Amino acid sequence: MDLGIASPSDPWSVMAITLFVALLCACIVIGHLLEESRWMNESITALAIGICTGVVLLLTTNWRKSRILVFSEDLFFNYVLPPIIFNAGFQVKKKQFFRNFMTIMLFGAAGTMISFFIISLGALGLVRRLDIGLLDIGDYLAIGAIFSATDSVCTLQVLNQDETPLLYSLVFGEGVVNDATSIVLFNAIQNFGQAHMDVVVVIRFFANFFYLFLTSTALGAFAGLFSAFIIKKLYFGRHSTDREVALMILMAYLSYMLAEFLNLSSILTVFFCGIVMSHYTWHNVTESSRITTKHAFATLSFIAEIFLFLYVGMDALDIEKWKFVSNSPGKSIGVSSILLGLVLLGRAAFVFPLSFLSNLTKKSPDEKISFKQQVTIWWAGLMRGAVSMALAYNQFTRSGHTQLRGNAVMITSTITVVLFSTTLFGLMTKPLIRLLLPSSQKHQGDMPSEPSSPKSFMQPLLGNEHESEFDAGGQTIPRPTSLRMLLSKPTHTVHHYWRKFDNAFMRPVFGGRGFVPVLPHSPTEQNAHP
C-alpha cells in the first residue's frame, strides 16, 4: 500500500494507519448524526472530512508534500474495490436485477459506449484546442473511458430498495455494469495499437471488449459454482463456521485477483461471483455461517466505501500535482469545465433515448420508466468518483507522480470534476429525489419488491429465491410452451426454463436453496447415520 509505509516498524506508517482508523470512526459517527440531514450523506461527509484533514496536514507541514496524500491505484483496485463490488452482487435482489436485466445492460453497456464516444470526441475537439500539452489519440480515448465511469453511491444512499424497487434496481445495476464496462474499455484501449485507426483496428477493439466482458463474467460464475461445490462436498456432515466463512471470503477474493492476473475485468468477475455465491454457496452453509457472512460482507463494504471517499478527499490536496498547473490555472479550469459539460451531455444522450426504446418493449404501464424516473437515472450517473481517479492515475502518471504538464493538467482536472460533481450534485440529490419522488408517489411506476419477512434475518437473500409463478397482480403466468410465448413474455419464459434447468441439474450438484447441511450430533445426522 502506498501510504508511506516503509516497514512495519516505521513510525510514519503507524501514524498513517492510526490517522485513517480514527478518521473512519469519525466518519461513521458524524454520518450517523447527519443521517436525517436534508443535504448531507455519508459519502459527502467522508469527502469533507478528508479534505479538512488534508488542509490540516498541509498546514502542519508548511505546505510541503506529505506521503499520506498519495493516491495508489493498486491500493484502490486490490484492496478497497473488491469488497464493495462483491457485496453488491451478494446482497442484490436477483429477482429484480434479472427482471430488468436487458434494461440494465442497455444502460450499463450500450449507454456507456455512447457516453464514451461523446466524451472522447468532445475532448479530442475541444481540449486539444487549449494546448495543455502533448496528448495522443490513446489519451483522448482513455479520457472517454475515465469519465464514463459513474459513481451512483450518493443516489443509492437516498433511494430505498423496498419503496422504489424498479428505480433502485436500474440505478444500482447500471452503476455496476457501467464501472465494469468503463474499465474493460480502458483496458481494451491500452491493449490495442494506436499508430493508425482503420476498420480492422476498430473491429479488433470491439472484439477485445466483448472477449473481456464475456470471459470475466464466465470466470466469476465458475468461481461461485466451484466454491459451492467445494463447501457442499468437503464439509458435508463436518461443518465449521470459521472455515466456511473463511473459504467464502478467500474464494471471492481469489476470483478477483485471478481476473487481475489474467488481465480480465475483475469487477465483473467478483460481481457475478457474488451473485452465484448467494444463489448456491450461501445455502450450503450452516445458519450461523449465513448470519456471519451476510453481516461480514456488508460491514467490509461499508468500511471500504467510507475509506474510499475519505482517501479521495485527502488526496485532492496533494500539493505536488498542483505545482504543474499553478502557472496557468485558467487552462485547468477550462479543461474541467469542458469535461463536466461532456459528462452532462454524454449522460443525457443515452438515458432519455434508451429509456424511450426500453418503454417500447414494455406493455404494462407499471414496467415503463416515467420521465421523473429518467431524470433521476440521469442525475444518478452525473457524479464521478474513485474509479475515474484510479483510471486517470493509471493513464497519466507513473507510481502516482507525473513530470509532464499535460498529464498533470488531466490529473488535476479529474480531481476537480470528482470533487465538484460529488459535492454539488451529491448535496442536491436528496432534495431532487424528494421533489421528483415524494413519499406518496414512490410506489407508483415501480414493480413491487419481494415480500418482506420479519421473522428472518435472511430475508434480503432468501427474498431473491421466491419461485412464484404469479405476476404483480397475483395472476398465474401462462406456462410458456412456444416461440410466440417467448416473444411475448421473454423474461418470464427465460425464468421458467432456467428454473427447470436449475432444479434438475444445478442444485443437485452445487446445492442451493433447499439444501440443509448436516451438523455433528444433530437429529439430522442421527437420522442419516443410524
The predicted pLDDT at position 309 comes to 85
Residue 393: pLDDT above 70?
Answer: yes
Distance CA 511, CA 386 (A): 37
Residue 194: pLDDT above 70?
Answer: no
Residue 258: pLDDT above 90?
Answer: yes
513 class by beta-carbon count within 10 Å (0-12 exposed, 13-18 middle, 19+ buried): middle
The predicted pLDDT at position 522 comes to 41
Q: Are 253 and 269 in contact (CB under 8 A)?
A: no
- Confidence class of residue 147 from pLDDT cuts 50, 70 and 90? very high
For residue 199, give every residue at least 6 positions away whose Cβ sits within 8 Å of its Cβ, in sequence order, or none: none
Cell of 410: 488531466
Residue 2: pLDDT above 50?
Answer: no
> Which pLDDT tens digit goes with each residue over 116-126?
999 999 998 88
For residue 432, give every residue at least 6 positions away whose Cβ sits within 8 Å of its Cβ, in sequence order, or none: 376, 379
- Confidence class of residue 235 from pLDDT cuts 50, 70 and 90? low
Asked which of 43-52, 224-233, 484-493 is least confident by mean pLDDT, the reply is 484-493
For residue 203, give Cα distances in angstroms to 116, 117, 208, 215, 322: 16, 15, 9, 18, 39
Calculate mean pLDDT across residues 256-271.
89
Distance CA 498, CA 214 (A): 19
> Which pLDDT tens digit goes with each residue over 51-102?
888 888 888 877 666 556 566 778 888 888 899 889 888 887 777 788 888 8
- Confidence class of residue 407 from pLDDT cuts 50, 70 and 90? confident
For residue 227, give Cα distances in angstroms to 220, 252, 448, 461, 509: 11, 9, 32, 18, 12
Asked which of 143-147, 208-212, 293-297, 338-342 is least confident by mean pLDDT, the reply is 208-212
Distance CA 339, CA 333 (A): 10
> Which pLDDT tens digit goes with each residue over 430-466?
888 888 887 534 444 444 444 333 333 444 444 444 4
Residue 3: pLDDT above 50?
Answer: no
- Confidence class of residue 215 from pLDDT cuts 50, 70 and 90? very high
Higher local confidence (pLDDT), 511 or 64: 511
Calculate mean pLDDT across residues 480-501.
63
The predicted pLDDT at position 117 comes to 92
Higher local confidence (pLDDT), 203 or 492: 203
Asked which of 5-9, 347-351, 382-386 is least confident by mean pLDDT, the reply is 5-9
Calculate mean pLDDT across residues 201-220.
83
Closest by CA to 83, choosing from 302, 280, 387, 310, is 302
Calculate mean pLDDT across residues 125-150.
86
The predicted pLDDT at position 351 comes to 93
Torsion 161-220-350-367 (CA) sign: negative
The predicted pLDDT at position 276 comes to 92
- Confidence class of residue 471 from pLDDT cuts 50, 70 and 90? very low
- Confidence class of residue 401 from pLDDT cuts 50, 70 and 90? low
Distance CA 45, CA 47 (A): 5
The predicted pLDDT at position 321 comes to 72
The predicted pLDDT at position 519 comes to 52
> Which pLDDT tens digit goes with each residue over 318-342?
767 777 777 777 788 889 999 999 9
> Which pLDDT tens digit goes with each residue over 11-38?
777 877 888 899 999 998 988 888 776 6
> Measured in whole angstroms, how far is the alpha carbon of residue 185 from the centre of its chain?
16
Average pLDDT in the chain: 78
Asked which of 197-206, 248-257, 332-341, 417-426 is least confident by mean pLDDT, the reply is 197-206
Indicate the SS3 state at residue 470.
strand
- Confidence class of residue 287 from pLDDT cuts 50, 70 and 90? confident
